A = this chain, B = another copy of it.
Amino acid sequence: MSKIPESTQLGKQIVIEDDVTIGENVVIGHNTIILKGTQIKDNVTIGCNCVLGVQPGNSQRMRKISKGNTQLVVQSGTQIGHLVSIYSGTLIGENVFIGDHASIRENVSVAEESVVGRAAIIELNTTIGRNCTIQTLAYVTGDTTLEENVFIGPCVSMSNDKYMGAQSYSLNGPHIKKGAKIGNNASLLPGVIVGMNSIVGAGAVVTKNVEDNITATGVPAKKINF
C-alpha cells in the first residue's frame, strides 16, 4: 500500500498502485491512475483521467532502454493536465507545465520551468532543457536534445530515422541549441542541428544544419537575409 499524506486532495475513483510516493499538498483529479513506483513531490497538481508511470517493458515493439532509473519522478510545483500519459524512467523537473492530452515516454528529462503543450508528444531518450516551450500538438521525436530557452511552435514535426526502418541506423533526433525558435508545422530531419538563437520559419523543411543566429525558411529551408 502506498502512503497518502493527509494534505493530498484526492478526486474520485483514483487508482494509486503500490510503491507510489506522494509529497505534501498534491492534488490528483478524478479517475487518474498512478502506477507502481511513481514519485510525486510537493505541490504537484495532476488532472483527471491521467495514466502516470507506465512501464515500457511490456511492449515488444517499442525499443528497450537500459537504464538505472525506472521510476517516474515529478518534481515539486509541476502541473499536469487531463488525459495525460507519462512513462516511468522519466524525470519531470520543478514547475513544469504539461498540457492536456500530452504524452511523454521513458528515459526523458524535462528541466524546470518548461512547458509541454496540449497534445504534444515527447518520445524516448530525449532531453529538454530549462525554460523551453513546446507548443500544442508538437512532436519531439526520440533521441532529441533541446537546450534551454528553446521554442517549438505548434504542430512542429521531427524524425530520427534517416532510412525509415529500411536499414540499420543509429537513431538520431535533432539537436536544437539555446534560444532557437522553430515555427509552426516546420519539419526537422534526423540529426539536424539548429544553431543558437536561430529561427526556422513556419512550414520550413530543415534538411541540413542551420547556423547560429540566422533565419531559415522554405522547402528545403534556406537562410534569408532581411
Contacts and interface: CB of A to CB of B under 8 A. Distances in A.
A151 B139 CA distance: 17
Contacts of A141: 136, 154
Interface in A1-16: 11-13, 15
B79 A61 contact: yes
Contacts of A143: none
A47 B207 CA distance: 37
Interface string A149-185: 0010111011100001110000000000000010111
A210 interface: no
State the oligomeric state as a number of copies.
Answer: 3
Dominant SS among interface residues on chain A: loop
Interface string A97-110: 10011010100000
A31 B60 contact: no
Interface string A37-50: 00000000101110
A28 B129 CA distance: 36
Contact of A155 (B30, B155, B201, B202): B155
Interface of A: 11-13, 15, 29-31, 33, 45, 47-49, 51, 54, 58-62, 79, 81-83, 85, 97, 100-101, 103, 105, 115, 118-119, 121, 123, 133, 136-137, 139, 141, 151, 153-155, 157-159, 164-166, 181, 183-185, 187, 189, 199, 201-203, 205, 207, 218-219
Given A47-B54, A49-B51, A101-B119, 4 more contacts: A100-B103, A153-B159, A157-B185, A159-B183
19 contacts: A49-B83, A51-B82, A61-B97, A101-B101, A101-B121, A103-B118, A105-B118, A118-B121, A123-B136, A139-B155, A151-B164, A151-B165, A157-B203, A158-B184, A159-B183, A164-B183, A185-B185, A203-B203, A203-B205
